[in-house]
């Protein structure tokens, strides 16, 4: 049996795992990444937020991302029938990046992993974690299954789980917890033939509200290679109105909306439509003696505001920094330093997700009385700066959304 010893074992080579590894390695500690799949591999979650730029830069990975010439994303466009609400990231409340990228995740994730590997972090590809035994001092011995079926042992002082939808430690330690968000499904593919805007605004994500009381919606995310990611998110009863075949279903939904039909009328699907159901999930706890969860292994809300990669990178950044302090002999309070910080952002996004589907947020978006400063504050949330407590939309997120929505509904 092959055996390894390391300071930190990181599960998952996605954005959370790669950025955590970069920070830990830069701090002078040994780490290794365990990845069950091979890269490149398809995964959804392709629209970054400006906050990602700060986090990639701090991890020393931003230059590698910039070199890929991904589609520049300088804002977001929300469409409802003939109404349009546009947010430009260079016109936000928080001092931050005015742009980010739209990224095919198979390439984006591969670039991050390859860059980390080039810095000296070993990655065990196609190795799955089958069992973990924690010792009294928090160190652990993990059993892995190699591609040939043989067993591999890894002894580590700490484990960071960035396994995403695989949720390795939540599964092994019985940490999964149902989300309080309603069940929704998503159907998606990549297309060619997208009649996207020319010049300014070409790279902005489009969020198109569909004819549905629960605000079902479609995303349109353009890539620099000419392809476009297209998907729908809705409750099962809305989706049941359309053909059962996934390709026919997505095509019919596109054709049924004035905004998506006008832009995607001549599009061709580049692969069969994929489906994800019941993607929202949470965890009973985010850390324990000898481990912490990062990224989608902690909690996944909803794709409407493209928060997934941002929360993954933020959680990895914060978990890595807290762990580095611990490895250096300090006694950090994981609840305060990691969980409380992360949950401020998660809870802010959750408020906005909930307000999107119950129509409070669209009421604000399309209101003619919305003041410019509120537009800027909301823009900062949509840019991923959900830890800026100077912003009322973060500091008092639920109350601010509720009060403003009522005012807009009354006077709009």
Tokens describing residue 152: 């591999």
* Distance in angstroms (rounded) separating the CA atoms of residues 265 and 322: 50
What pLDDT does residue 39 have? 97
Contacts of 46 (CB under 8 A, 6+ apart): 102, 103, 104, 105, 108, 221, 223, 229
**Range 170-209 burial, b when 16+ CB lie within 10 A, else e:** beebebeeebebeebbbbbbbbeebebeeeeeebbbbbbb
**Does residue 125 carry a pLDDT above 60?**
yes
Give residue 297's pLDDT band: very low, low, confident or very high (50, 70, 90).
Answer: low
Residues 148-175 pLDDT 10s: 999 999 999 999 999 988 889 999 999 9
* Distance in angstroms (rounded) separating the CA atoms of residues 143 and 131: 5
Average pLDDT over residues 388-407: 96
Domains in the chain, please, with CATH?
A: 2-72+103-178+281-344 (3.50.50.60), 185-277 (3.30.9.100), 358-411 (no CATH)
What pLDDT does residue 279 have? 66
How large a percentage of the chain has pLDDT more than 70?
99
What pLDDT does residue 181 have? 77
The pLDDT mean for the chain works out to 95
* Distance in angstroms (rounded) separating the CA atoms of residues 408 and 330: 50
What pLDDT does residue 43 have? 92
- Which pTM value belongs to this model? 0.96
Residue 411: HSE in the Cβ half-sphere, 13 Å Cα cutoff? 11
Residues 126-151 pLDDT 10s: 999 999 999 999 999 999 999 999 99
* Distance in angstroms (rounded) separating the CA atoms of residues 142 and 246: 40
* Distance in angstroms (rounded) separating the CA atoms of residues 282 and 350: 12
Contacts of 329 (CB under 8 A, 6+ apart): none
**Does residue 277 carry a pLDDT above 70?**
yes
Contacts of 289 (CB under 8 A, 6+ apart): 134, 138
What pLDDT does residue 164 have? 86
* Distance in angstroms (rounded) separating the CA atoms of residues 198 and 187: 27
Tokens describing residue 73: 């994303």
H/E/C letters for each residue in the chain? Answer: CEEEEEEEEEECCCHHHHHHHHHHHHCCCCEEEEECCCCCCCCCCCECCCHHHHHHHHCCCHHHHHCCCCEEECEEEEEECCEEEEEECCCCCCCCCCCEEECCHHHHHHHHHHHHHHCCCCEEECCEEEEEEECCCCCEEEEEECCCCCEEEEEEEEEEECCHHHCHHHHHCCCEEECCCCCCEEEEEEEECCCCCCCCCCCCEEEEECCCCCCCEEEEEECCCCCEEEEEEECHHHHCCCCCCHHHHHHHHHHCCHHHHHHHCCCEECCCCEEEECCCEEECCCEECCEEECHHHCCECCHHHCCHHHHHHHHHHHHHHHHHHHHCCCCCCHHHHHHHHHHHHHHHHHHHHHHHHCCHHHHHHCCCCCCHHHHHHHHHHHCCCCCCCCCHHHHCHHHHHHHHHHHHHHHC
Of residues 156, 159, 157, the one with CA closest to residue 169: 159
* Distance in angstroms (rounded) separating the CA atoms of residues 199 and 113: 32
Average pLDDT over residues 348-367: 96
User: Cα-flanking dihedrals φ and ψ of residue 129, to 5°?
Assistant: -80, 120
């Amino acid at each position: 049996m092959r055996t390894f010893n390391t300071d930190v074992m990181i599960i998952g080579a996605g954005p959370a795992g790669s950025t955590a590894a970069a920070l830990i390695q830069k701090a002078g500690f040994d780490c290794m990444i365990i990845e069950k799949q091979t890269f490149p591999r398809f995964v959804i979650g392709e629209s970054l937020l400006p906050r990602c730029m700060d986090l990639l830069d701090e991890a020393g990975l931003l230059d590698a991302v910039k070199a890929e010439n991904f589609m520049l994303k300088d804002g977001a466009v929300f469409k409802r029938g003939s109404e349009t609400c546009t947010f430009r990231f260079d016109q936000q409340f928080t001092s931050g990046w005015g742009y980010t990228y739209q990224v095919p995740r198979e390439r984006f994730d591969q670039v991050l992993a390859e860059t980390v590997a080039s810095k000296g972090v070993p990655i065990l590809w196609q190795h799955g974690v089958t069992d973990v035994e924690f010792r009294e001092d928090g160190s652990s011995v993990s059993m892995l299954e190699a591609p040939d079926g043989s067993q591999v042992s890894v002894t580590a002082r700490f484990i960071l789980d960035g396994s995403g939808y695989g949720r390795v430690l939540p599964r092994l330690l019985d940490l999964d917890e149902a989300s309080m968000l309603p069940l929704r499904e998503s159907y998606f593919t990549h297309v060619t033939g997208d009649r996207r805007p020319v010049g300014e605004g070409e790279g902005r994500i489009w969020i198109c509200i569909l004819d549905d009381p629960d605000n079902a919606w479609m995303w349109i995310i353009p890539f620099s290679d000419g392809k476009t990611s297209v998907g729908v998110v809705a409750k099962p009863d809305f989706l049941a109105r359309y053909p059962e075949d996934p390709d026919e279903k997505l095509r019919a939904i596109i054709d049924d909306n004035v905004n998506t039909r006008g832009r995607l009328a001549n599009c061709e699907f580049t692969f069969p439509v994929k489906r994800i159901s019941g993607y929202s999930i949470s965890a009973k706890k985010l850390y324990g003696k000898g481990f912490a969860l990062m990224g989608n292994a902690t909690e996944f809300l909803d794709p409407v505001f493209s928060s997934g990669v941002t929360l993954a990178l933020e959680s990895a950044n914060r978990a890595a920094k807290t762990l580095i302090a611990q490895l250096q002999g300090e006694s950090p309070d994981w609840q305060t330093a990691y969980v409380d910080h992360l949950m401020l952002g998660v809870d802010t996004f959750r408020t906005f997700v909930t307000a999107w589907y119950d129509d409070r947020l669209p009421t604000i978006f399309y209101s003619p009385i919305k003041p410019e400063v509120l537009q800027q504050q909301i823009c900062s949330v949509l840019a991923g700066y959900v830890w800026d407590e100077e912003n009322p939309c973060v500091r008092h997120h639920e109350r601010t959304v509720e009060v403003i929505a009522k005012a807009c509904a009354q006077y709009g």
